[in-house]
């Protein structure tokens, strides 16, 4: 695999050639510091996520990690998958920093930068959490909507709010608002989705006062206020009054609407999340993007925001899904899950064992670390699959030893077992059906960090899951983001603010 230096990478990223820069480290390492506008794609997820993130196999791809070691391991996988223009950043991020190039902290930073820009440029009206609490207590007549995903809303929302994910606001807000003078409050977990949601409604030309809740549910908790847990006030259904290139087709409707029928091959990216987490949904800068919904309203909203973000090749499907059907376009239903690339080949490389007595074999788990903590085969050692080649020697120093590789469902473990077989572990096998099959067979499990053989940097906790100090640090960092994703405040303990 060839390499390119920091200067050449900067030129590529600043140009118009379609390209994807993939950071193949684990998510927590990416959060601590990465190159702005790169996509987090841990090596262990290449077979699963890369076909959807980079659809044209001639796209210029650059792999990035800390020092080049993980990129070197990832390169052969991309080549086997048919990607023909793959290079690595020479010397990794260490060389990038040594060349005086900046990195940024956090996740989904481009979306957060855009949210802060929207706030300051368009002067989005805000209300503080204590002020809103007083207005709720006084019985003021208003509509409060939560623009996050239904799952986030259910875990904890501002009391009395209704779940209305950002992409649904323009379609459904008319079902809740009863009068033109009724105030609409939009909130999320922090800042970005509140501001984008409020601005989406303001652009509808509604006469209602439209206000974003400053700092969202994190601000609510930091103000000493209690969230409502387990709420189930869902957005009402809309009625007549509410209504070889890299190509991404995104359906921005609700999960139920998408499952009922969508354009064949379209991915599901609910409108609010498509703006909140851009780099999770697409990796190729300069790609063609098409948004789809039923009548065009939600797709048009996402298109408008992406244009403001600087995506030049962006459109929505005119006439929506009905027009597609009328033209003879194919539909799919459900939430299709394509088989990971190379899975059947990996399964052919290694033998499988059924749940039962493993005969003293060393058991390796390659689940995400949080899944391992919840349930694993007794005695299993945990290793992040991205670093398996470098860590296995400490767990199984002799390549003649019998190994059984596990994960929740037997998918990632099949890839890992095949890797071990190629390393010379001739007795590497995979647990058929994974830990789920093990439990279904009535076999015992262990929980907790019983045998961690690697750093658990594959899982990133939300700020509100880390405690008060983390929430305060996050909000300080986000509020001060500049147009290149940098902040004078540090996001994470032990990391410098600007790098």
pTM metric for this prediction: 0.80
Domain 247-332 in CATH: superfamily?
Rhodanese-like domain (3.40.250.10)
Report whether CATH 3.40.250.10 matches the domain 343-440.
yes
Are residues 416 and 45 in contact, defined by beta-carbon separation less than 8 angstroms? no
Q: How far apart are CA 319 and CA 123, in angstroms?
A: 33
Per-residue confidence (pLDDT) for residue 494, from 0 to 100: 65
Are residues 193 and 115 in contact, defined by beta-carbon separation less than 8 angstroms? yes
Q: What is the pLDDT along the chain (499 residues), one digit of tens a residue?
A: 999 999 999 999 999 999 999 999 999 999 999 999 999 999 999 999 999 999 999 999 999 999 999 999 999 999 999 999 999 999 999 999 999 999 999 999 998 998 888 888 888 999 999 999 999 999 999 999 999 999 999 999 999 999 998 888 888 888 888 888 899 999 999 998 999 889 888 877 788 899 999 999 999 999 999 999 999 998 887 665 444 568 899 999 999 999 999 998 899 998 778 888 888 988 998 888 999 999 888 999 899 989 988 888 899 998 999 988 888 888 999 998 888 999 999 999 999 999 999 999 999 999 999 999 999 999 999 999 999 999 999 999 999 999 999 999 999 999 999 999 999 999 999 999 999 999 999 999 999 999 999 999 999 999 999 999 999 999 999 999 998 999 999 998 766 665 5
Per-residue confidence (pLDDT) for residue 496, from 0 to 100: 65
Alpha helices by DSSP H, 206-327:
216-222, 255-260, 271-276, 278-281, 297-309, 320-326
Three-state helix/strand/coil letters over 67-104: CCHHHHHHHHHHHHCCCCCEEEECCHHHHHHHCCCCCE
Report whether CATH 3.40.50.300 matches the domain 111-222.
no
Per-residue confidence (pLDDT) for residue 328, from 0 to 100: 84
Per-residue confidence (pLDDT) for residue 168, from 0 to 100: 85
Q: How far apart are CA 316 and CA 296, in angstroms?
A: 7
Domain boundaries, the chain: 2-106, 111-222, 247-332, 343-440
Per-residue confidence (pLDDT) for residue 447, from 0 to 100: 97
Beta strands in 141-246 (DSSP E): 142-146, 162-163, 183-187, 210-213
Q: What residue has token string 């009402």?
A: 236
Nearest residue to 339 via CA among 255, 428, 415: 415
Q: Which of the listed CATH numbers 3.40.30.10, 3.30.1370.100, 3.40.250.10, 2.60.120.10 matches domain 2-106?
A: 3.40.250.10
Q: What residue has token string 């500049």?
A: 482
Q: How far apart are CA 235 and CA 224, in angstroms?
A: 28
Question: Do 2-106 and 343-440 show the same overall fold?
Answer: yes
Determine the straight-line distance between the first and last CA of the chain, rounded to whole angstroms.
28
Torsion region of 106: left, alpha or beta (phi above 0 gives left; psi -120 to 50 gives alpha): left
Per-residue confidence (pLDDT) for residue 242, from 0 to 100: 47
Per-residue confidence (pLDDT) for residue 245, from 0 to 100: 61
The structure tokens listed for 258 are 């998408």
Per-residue confidence (pLDDT) for residue 171, from 0 to 100: 80
């Amino acid at each position: 695999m060839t390499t390119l230096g920091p200067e050449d990478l900067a030129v590529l990223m600043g140009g118009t050639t379609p390209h994807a820069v993939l950071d193949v480290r684990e998510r927590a390492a990416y959060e601590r510091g990465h190159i702005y506008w790169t996509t987090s794609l841990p090596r262990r997820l290449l077979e699963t996520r890369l076909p959807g993130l980079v659809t044209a196999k001639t796209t210029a791809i650059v792999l990035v990690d800390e020092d080049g070691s993980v990129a070197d391991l990832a390169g052969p996988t991309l080549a086997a998958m048919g990607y023909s223009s793959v290079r690595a950043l020479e010397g990794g991020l260490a060389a990038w920093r040594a060349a005086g190039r900046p990195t940024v902290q956090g996740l989904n930073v481009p979306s957060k930068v855009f949210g802060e820009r929207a706030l300051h440029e368009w002067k989005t009206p805000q209300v503080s959490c204590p002020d809103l609490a007083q207005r709720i207590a006084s019985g003021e007549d208003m509509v409060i909507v939560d623009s996050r995903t239904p799952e986030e809303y259910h875990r904890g929302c501002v009391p009395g709010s209704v779940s209305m994910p950002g992409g649904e606001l323009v379609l459904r807000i008319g079902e809740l608002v009863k009068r033109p003078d009724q105030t609409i409050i939009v909130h999320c977990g922090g800042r970005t989705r509140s501001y984008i949601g409020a601005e989406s409604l303001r652009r509808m030309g509604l006469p209602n006062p439209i206000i974003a809740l400053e700092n969202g549910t994190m601000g609510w908790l930091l103000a000493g206020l209690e969230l409502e847990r387990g709420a189930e006030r869902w957005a009402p259904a809309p009625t007549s009054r509410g209504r070889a290139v890299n190509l991404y087709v995104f359906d921005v409707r609700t999960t139920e609407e998408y499952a009922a029928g969508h354009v064949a091959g379209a991915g599901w990216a609910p409108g609010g999340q498509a703006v909140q987490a851009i780099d999770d949904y697409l990796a190729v800068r300069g790609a063609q993007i098409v948004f789809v919904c039923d009548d065009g309203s939600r797709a048009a909203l996402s298109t408008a925001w992406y244009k403001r973000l600087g995506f030049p090749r962006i459109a929505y499907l005119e006439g929506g899904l009905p027009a597609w059907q009328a033209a003879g376009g194919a539909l799919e239903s459900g939430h299709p899950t394509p088989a990971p690339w190379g899975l059947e080949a990996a399964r052919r490389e290694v033998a499988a064992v059924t749940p039962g007595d493993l005969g003293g074999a060393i058991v390796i788990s390659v689940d995400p670390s949080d899944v391992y903590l919840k349930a694993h085969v007794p005695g299993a050692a945990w290793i992040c699959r991205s670093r398996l080649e470098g860590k296995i020697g400490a767990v199984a120093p002799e390549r003649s030893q019998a190994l059984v590789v596990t994960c929740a469902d037997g998918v990632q473990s099949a890839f890992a077992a095949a890797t071990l077989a190629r390393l010379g572990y001739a007795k590497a096998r995979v647990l058929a059906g994974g830990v789920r099959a093990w439990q279904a067979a009535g076999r015992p499990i262990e929980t907790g960090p019983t045998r961690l053989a690697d750093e658990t940097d594959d899982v990133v906790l939300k700020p509100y899951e880390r405690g008060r100090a983390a929430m305060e640090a996050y909000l300080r960092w986000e509020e001060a983001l500049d147009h290149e994703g940098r902040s004078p405040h540090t996001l994470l303990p032990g990391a410098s603010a600007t790098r």
